[in-house]
Structure 1
Amino acid sequence: MKSLGIGLIGTGFMGKCHALAYRSARAVFGDVPEARLEVLCDVPGDKASAFADQFGFARATDDWMDLVADPKVDIVCITTPNKVHKEMALAALEAGKHVHLEKPMALTMEDARILLAAADKTGARTIVGYNYLHNPAIGHARKLIEDGAIGRIVHFRGMVDEDYQADPELAWTWRATKADAGLGTLGDLGCHLISLATALVGPVESLMAETRTVHETRPMGEGSDERRPVENEDIASALLTFENGVHGVISTSRSAWGRKSYIAFEVHGTEGMITFDQERMNELRLYQNRGPVSEQGFKTLLTGPAHPPYGQFVPAAGHQLGFNDLKIIEAHTFLKAIAEGREAVPSFKEALHFEAVIHAIAEAGETGRRVTLK
């Protein structure tokens, strides 16, 4: 198999996650091309050099255009702040590179559509960083639904909450502006929940919503008297109607004290229910209305080798996978799709729907009207 060169832009939380994932994908799965860590980009240059050495990249640069133009780079991984996603992804596509882009695709739906059109034009492969979709527990939930384990699906209920913006005295950052971050909790957290809802139930047809900014201003630094406005939403709630007629309720907050990575959902069927909580990401709970009523109840399914691709990591149940393992599965998905000449999931095409939903929620929250997705 022909090896593939990786160019990574950004060395923060997700940048490190990408580096670990591409270093590990072939070791874990064995059926994909070698991923060569070729170029790492960050600013300033000495920071890029230090992280290139730590992560194992062949060279470093402080110019992302230099990385995109490098003939040794086949895949460009973009893990930068949201406002530069469009520019970087477009340049990479135009240079003939495959693109692994962290969500959101872009700040606006117009820009996201431009990215999809560019990917379609060049024929490059794309994937967007919705790594929760790659959890073996989620894959098994989808299989249970497809197999009719809980009957006909009638309702989806979901929440995604964190507390990283709960403190009103937390300093103002770029995440508070529409020009730099775009949407707030919807673009950072809500899109993950929509990706799961879509994978399990199907595309969203229309919705109604409310959005709120909990902390309208934030200080410019610790102890500072200067405060700047928060332009995007801290919380959002929506009533969804899926294309297949299923109803749904979702909420998201980045100001929920005590929540760390709370992505929880319930899928209600005519014969039972499936529930999940990302903070207990190796467990799935299943209720089926079968057998004597006195013996009915939820059972906990602990993921193991019977839930692919868990067994590629650990040969026994109960040993647990983690967040970074999901990114390894995501990197493997992309490497395999490139090697086989097919689209990865979720590509720009699938991810565009996730973003269309969160932007529709923002619109409905502003107008108070039901929004139908186009």
Structure 2
Amino acid sequence: MVGVGLIGSGFMGKCHAIAWSAVGAVFPEAGRPRLVHLGEVDAHLARRRAEEFGFARASGDWRAVIADPEVDVVSLTAPNQFHAEMAIAALRAGKHVWCEKPMAPGFVDAEAMARAAEASDRVAVLGYNYIQSPAVRHIGALLEEGAIGEVNHLRIEMDEDFMADPDAPFFWKHEAASGYGALDDFAVHPLSLISVLFGRVARVICDMAMPYADRRTHDGIRRAVETYDVASVLMRLENGMPATLQVNRAAWGRKGRIAVQIFGSRGSILFDQERFNELRLYVTSDRPAEQGYRTILIGPQHQPYGVFVPAPGHGLGFNDLKIIECRELLSRIAGRPARLIGFAEGLEIERTVHAMARSFREGRWAKVR
């Protein structure tokens, strides 16, 4: 059985813990991993989380998790600025790595992570769970079979409102050390969908905005915000297709929206992550009197939905995508084909994000490569 170490036990740490606990029940062929060692910022929190999540051991030092001989794979869910040091240390120690996105705030660190993965014989992947959605998989199948003809335009947006309140306090995602802001916090998810559905981005022009220039700290002091919550990007993909990307972390009313609009010569496809158990399809092959968007409800015929629920209309959730991702990781560790974004592919996403930021600084189009 694979031995699991977890570094970080916040929102995404709990998602990873749930996935490791459930993957064997949902996908019996994956086996049942052992929850070996949990690391946190202090020993007390580590012990509490280990008891809650079911890990056998706990430590206030993340290095102890990596050094544990019973740990085969490390789930890395610490804040972005620690990803590079932790991931590289784990790979050099001979551990597989499942690191939450983005790779790192700095491109040099992301490159170092990719080099460490290439130099090792270990599996190193990133937590892009939205590519695991049965709806997204079906969109890929529709595109492959030419259901909407030749695709000529893509629009993709990601919006949430967890930074919409101007009175909300300053926290670590407002620090420049965490990255650019919405670009590497949010845009990487739409870019992961573009990567699996259409391939690489060739060039970009980007604008960013900071809705609130400062926020109060917990001490009541006003501190300057160092990241951008809004970004708008024009893109040209390597296949020549034009695309637009818009991301916003301060969009009141939006909770988890990734809206995808794909337009082709014979139809279009619409998808919204807030309603991610359905997609909408328009095809010109319908009789003119009946032409219109049809809603396709995701069900057992859209795998791997059926291994969770045997009936349509019941719906999957966010954590279910993480369980699917965990199964894909275990498949790759076992040497089987898997739908994942590894460090090499992830580096291309990081390269695109940094090209966007460069475009914003220089006020002009920027090539990704």
- Counterparts of 2:258 and 2:239 in 1: how far apart (Å)? 23
Deviates more, 1:138-147 or 1:332-341: 332-341
Selected match of 1:319 from 314, 322, 326: 314
Q: CA deviation at 1:198?
A: 2.1
* 1:3-152 mapped onto 2 (5 Å cutoff): 3-152=1-150
1:246 is aligned to 2:244: no
Deviates more, 1:189-198 or 1:253-262: 189-198
Q: CA deviation at 1:49?
A: 0.8
Selected match of 1:187 from 184, 198, 208: 184
1:353 alignment counterpart: 348
Q: Secondary structure at the match of 1:361?
A: helix
1:203 is aligned to 2:200: yes
CA contact (8 A) 1:125 1:342 kept: no
1:262 alignment counterpart: 257
Q: CA deviation at 1:213?
A: 1.1
Q: CA deviation at 1:342?
A: 6.2
Q: CA deviation at 1:110?
A: 1.3
Q: CA deviation at 1:44?
A: 2.1
Q: CA deviation at 1:207?
A: 0.9
CA contact (8 A) 1:136 1:307 kept: yes
Instruction: Render the CA deviation track for 1:48-74: whole Å, top value 9, x for unaligned.
Output: 111111111111111110110100000
Q: Which amino acid aligns with 1:320?
A: G
Q: Which amino acid aligns with 2:159?
A: D
CA contact (8 A) 1:32 1:339 kept: no
Q: Alpha carbon RMSD of aligned pairs, Å?
A: 1.2
Q: CA deviation at 1:286?
A: 0.5
1:272 alignment counterpart: 267
Query: Normalization by structure 1: what TM-score?
Result: 0.97
Instruction: Render the CA deviation track for 1:210-233: whole Å, top value 9, x for unaligned.
Output: 1111111111127x2x21111111
Selected match of 1:290 from 263, 285, 290: 285
- Counterparts of 2:338 and 2:320 in 1: how far apart (Å)? 21
Selected match of 1:281 from 276, 280, 300: 276
- Counterparts of 1:55 and 1:220 in 2: how far apart (Å)? 31
Q: CA deviation at 1:164?
A: 0.8
CA contact (8 A) 1:185 1:234 kept: yes
Unaligned residue ranges in structure 2 (runs of 5+)? none
- Counterparts of 2:324 and 2:26 in 1: how far apart (Å)? 9
Q: CA deviation at 1:177?
A: 1.4
- Counterparts of 1:326 and 1:339 in 2: how far apart (Å)? 20
Q: Secondary structure at the match of 2:319?
A: helix
Q: CA deviation at 1:5?
A: 0.4
- Counterparts of 1:342 and 1:7 in 2: how far apart (Å)? 23
- Counterparts of 1:291 and 1:282 in 2: how far apart (Å)? 24
- Counterparts of 1:328 and 1:69 in 2: how far apart (Å)? 26
Q: CA deviation at 1:182?
A: 1.1
- Counterparts of 1:71 and 1:120 in 2: how far apart (Å)? 22
Unaligned residue ranges in structure 1 (runs of 5+)? none
Q: CA deviation at 1:34?
A: 2.4
- Counterparts of 2:226 and 2:127 in 1: how far apart (Å)? 25
Same amino acid, percent of matched pairs: 45
CA contact (8 A) 1:125 1:344 kept: no
Q: Secondary structure at the match of 1:259?
A: coil
Q: CA deviation at 1:178?
A: 1.5
- Counterparts of 2:339 and 2:200 in 1: how far apart (Å)? 18
Residues matched between the structures, number = 369
CA contact (8 A) 1:282 1:302 kept: yes
Q: CA deviation at 1:292?
A: 2.0
Q: Secondary structure at the match of 2:15?
A: helix
1:220 is aligned to 2:233: no
Q: Which amino acid aligns with 2:262?
A: V
Distance change (3 Å), C-alpha of 1:29 and 1:11: same
